[in-house]
A and B are shown apart, each in its own frame.
Chain A
Amino acid sequence: MARRRLAAVAALGLALAPLAARADAVIADLSSHQIGITTGFNGASVVLFGATDGPADVIAVVRGPERELTVWRKGKVAGVWTNAEAETFTNAPSFYAIAASRPLDEILSRASAALHRVGIENLRFEPRATTTPERAALFADALVAAQQRAGLFAVTTGRIAFLGERLFRTTLTFPANVPTGSYLVEVFLVRDKEIVGAQTTPLVVSKVGVDAAVYEFAHRRALAYGAIAVVMAVMAGWLASLPFRNA
């Protein structure tokens, strides 16, 4: 009981006492703060590198923008499999990846991991409608599994390598279907199973070039876009038939 209270106080202290005060305990940056999705886009990787103020462990968490996601459970109705039940979560991260210098359970206490939402098992999903905790948990687990199948939630913990005692680096990889939006890369400095320092770095995933222009146009001037798409198709069909005219 006393230990638990202590943990709670420590947790509160961590949450309130600004980590920023110790931010210089760990300094990290990305090789690039923007991932541009172009026509040839087939996934990307970004190097995360930094330095600590002494021997310690480091954990990096990459979190995509939060979305409202619906999970469907299939059921058999009249001999046919169909979407039978649904649960919608309001705050599911669209992307989640994690990397650490050693296995997570060896370097971080459970309380700290839960507090800072380090690790997929510590993500919390808010159901939109009221539901039983068992049902919410069932669908939340299914959501994680589905996101992992899609390559959007990490299945394993990546490795952060140290060069000597203070310099570290790791490569963060993003799949071709990476959602667009503002990402946060959090770097935690860990000593004696507790987080003693942190730094957050933004990362923007966006469409660039022609693709961005097409996407913008399709959403802002939808009717004009549709008309152009139709005209383009008609032209292409006509052009393609020209060489066969005298056949």
Chain B
Amino acid sequence: MDVYLPIAEVSLDIFVLLGLGAGVGFLSGVFGVGGGFLLTPLLILIGVPAPIAVASSANQLVGASVSGVLAHWRRGHVDFKMGFTLLVGGLAGSFLGIWLFTLFARLGQIELVISLCYVVLLGTLGIMMGVESLRAMLRQRRPGAARRKLHRHTWLHGLPLKTRFRKSQLYISALLPIGLGFFVGVLSAVMGIGGGFLMVPAMIYTLGMPTTMVPGTSLLQIIFVAANVTLLQAYTNHTVDAVLALLLLVGGVLGAQFGTRFGTRLRGEQLRFLLALIVLIVAGQLAHDLTIRPKHLFVVPMENR
């Protein structure tokens, strides 16, 4: 059954959209990532114009993240103080990101920039996480092996504005989460994603947060960054298709709830290894697409037809 999307100006099968939302929502619940890094390319693949896909994904992320945060919150797995500290940087970053997005779109290079960002970031992250989680799994198999130190001190811990995050049992500089939030905020606006797949590993490895607290806290700040991106895109580019977002959400929120339950049954390192695999597959596909000769050498971008 086809449904016409008023802003995207295309007709798509309603069950494809619902299914897409459910699949991505499930992943988002399991890993605490918004799933935008999968949703946006998949939407483009089924015929939604790229700018609309980017902006509408941000819109659906708002809802998916609300649902995800509530599920984690009931288990006490959300560090609100950390979430809002991240958000301070995230909001500032998303303003800069939208500006860059508009600039690259005008130069006709936004698709290339998006793809390159994905390949570099996903590739690096996937390898790092994969290696780390494999090591952790191997360590567990050999009881009595040397345990990791509780936490290591680096120059990052010498920064000013030391703040205590009780829920995460951390005493670190507030500049760390603010800077992380800013960096992810820029990328999330440019790439049209919540940035959870960047935020989650960074929170685990750079901030040293406990794995159980990470998904809920990451989702909390994604709500606000995605809401900001949605507003800015709707206002400056008129690219938010609320009907598309709502359909994705209906599938997505249900998927996310099941994903969250599924996720609590998996151990941290298994979860990270699985996420690393998905991240690497997406990166590989995008890199492949960039380097093979395109089927059509001439293209007319759909959005200006």
Measured CB to CB, the residues of A under 8 A from B are 37-43, 67-74, 76, 79-83, 86, 94, 139, 142-143, 145-147, 149-150, 152, 176-177, 179-180, 207, 210-212, 214-215, 218-219, 222-223, 225-230, 232-241, 244-245, 247
Contacts of A83 in B (CB 8 A): 108-109, 111-112, 299
Measured CB to CB, the residues of B under 8 A from A are 1-4, 6-7, 9-11, 59-68, 70-71, 74, 108-109, 111-112, 116, 223, 227, 230-236, 238, 240, 242-243, 245-246, 249-250, 253-254, 256-257, 261, 290-294, 296-302, 304-305
Check A233 against B66 for contact (C-beta < 8 Å). Answer: yes
A-B contact count (CB 8 A): 198
Check B231 against A67 for contact (C-beta < 8 Å). Answer: no
Check B291 against A237 for contact (C-beta < 8 Å). Answer: no
Q: Could you say which of A37, A143, A222, A241 contacts B235, with CB atoms under 8 Å apart?
A: A222
Check B112 against A223 for contact (C-beta < 8 Å). Answer: no
Cα–Cα distance between A12 and B104 once the two chains are bound (Å): 47
Cα–Cα distance between A232 and B247 once the two chains are bound (Å): 12
Q: Could you say which of B11, B111, B230, B256 contacts A226, with CB atoms under 8 Å apart?
A: B230
User: Which secondary structure characterizes the binding site on chain B?
Assistant: helix
Cα–Cα distance between A147 and B300 once the two chains are bound (Å): 8
Given contacts A41-B11, A229-B234, A240-B254, contact A82 B109 (CB under 8 A): yes
Contacts of B11 in A (CB 8 A): 40-43, 176-177
Check A240 against B253 for contact (C-beta < 8 Å). Answer: yes
Check B249 against A237 for contact (C-beta < 8 Å). Answer: yes
Given contacts A222-B238, A226-B234, A237-B249, contact A80 B300 (CB under 8 A): no
Minimum CB distance partner of A230 in chain B: B227
Cα–Cα distance between A246 and B7 once the two chains are bound (Å): 38
Cα–Cα distance between A39 and B230 once the two chains are bound (Å): 23
Check B242 against A228 for contact (C-beta < 8 Å). Answer: yes
Cβ contacts A to B, 27 pairs, < 8 Å: A39-B243, A40-B2, A69-B300, A69-B304, A72-B108, A72-B298, A76-B293, A81-B291, A81-B293, A82-B109, A142-B298, A147-B300, A176-B2, A218-B238, A222-B235, A223-B231, A225-B234, A230-B230, A233-B63, A233-B227, A236-B250, A237-B249, A237-B253, A239-B253, A240-B256, A241-B67, A245-B74
Given contacts A236-B63, A236-B253, A240-B254, contact A146 B299 (CB under 8 A): yes
Check A149 against B297 for contact (C-beta < 8 Å). Answer: no
In the assembled complex, the CB of B71 is this many whole angstroms from the nearest CB of chain A, namely 6
Cα–Cα distance between A241 and B216 once the two chains are bound (Å): 14
Check B253 against A67 for contact (C-beta < 8 Å). Answer: no
Given contacts A80-B112, A179-B305, contact A237 B298 (CB under 8 A): no
Cα–Cα distance between A161 and B192 once the two chains are bound (Å): 50
Contacts of A152 in B (CB 8 A): 305
Minimum CB distance partner of B293 in chain A: A81
Minimum CB distance partner of B112 in chain A: A82
Closest 8 CB pairs of A and B: A226-B234, A237-B66, A240-B253, A142-B298, A233-B63, A237-B63, A237-B67, A233-B62
Minimum CB distance partner of B2 in chain A: A42
Check B300 against A143 for contact (C-beta < 8 Å). Answer: yes
Q: Could you say which of A43, A71, A227 contacts B300, with CB atoms under 8 Å apart?
A: A71
Contacts of A234 in B (CB 8 A): 62-63, 66, 223, 227
Check B305 against A150 for contact (C-beta < 8 Å). Answer: yes
Check B6 against A207 for contact (C-beta < 8 Å). Answer: yes
Contacts of B236 in A (CB 8 A): 222
The winner among B7, B61, B238, B298 for most chain A CB atoms within 10 A is B298
* Given A233-B230, A236-B67, 7 further pairs, Cβ under 8 A: A143-B300, A218-B242, A230-B227, A234-B62, A235-B63, A240-B63, A244-B71
Given contacts A219-B238, A238-B70, contact A38 B4 (CB under 8 A): yes
Check A236 against B238 for contact (C-beta < 8 Å). Answer: no
Check B246 against A236 for contact (C-beta < 8 Å). Answer: yes
Contacts of B68 in A (CB 8 A): 237
Minimum CB distance partner of A79 in chain B: B291
Cα–Cα distance between A218 and B60 once the two chains are bound (Å): 17
Minimum CB distance partner of B228 in chain A: A230
In the assembled complex, the CB of A211 is this many whole angstroms from the nearest CB of chain B, namely 4
Check A230 against B59 for contact (C-beta < 8 Å). Answer: yes
Contacts of B238 in A (CB 8 A): 218-219, 222
Q: Could you say which of A69, A74, A233 contacts B245, with CB atoms under 8 Å apart?
A: A233
Minimum CB distance partner of A180 in chain B: B9
Contacts of B3 in A (CB 8 A): 39-40
In the assembled complex, the CB of B200 is this many whole angstroms from the nearest CB of chain A, namely 19
Minimum CB distance partner of A177 in chain B: B10
Contacts of B227 in A (CB 8 A): 230, 233-234
The winner among A40, A43, A207 for most chain B CB atoms within 10 A is A40
Contacts of A247 in B (CB 8 A): 257, 261
Check B230 against A73 for contact (C-beta < 8 Å). Answer: no
Minimum CB distance partner of A149 in chain B: B296
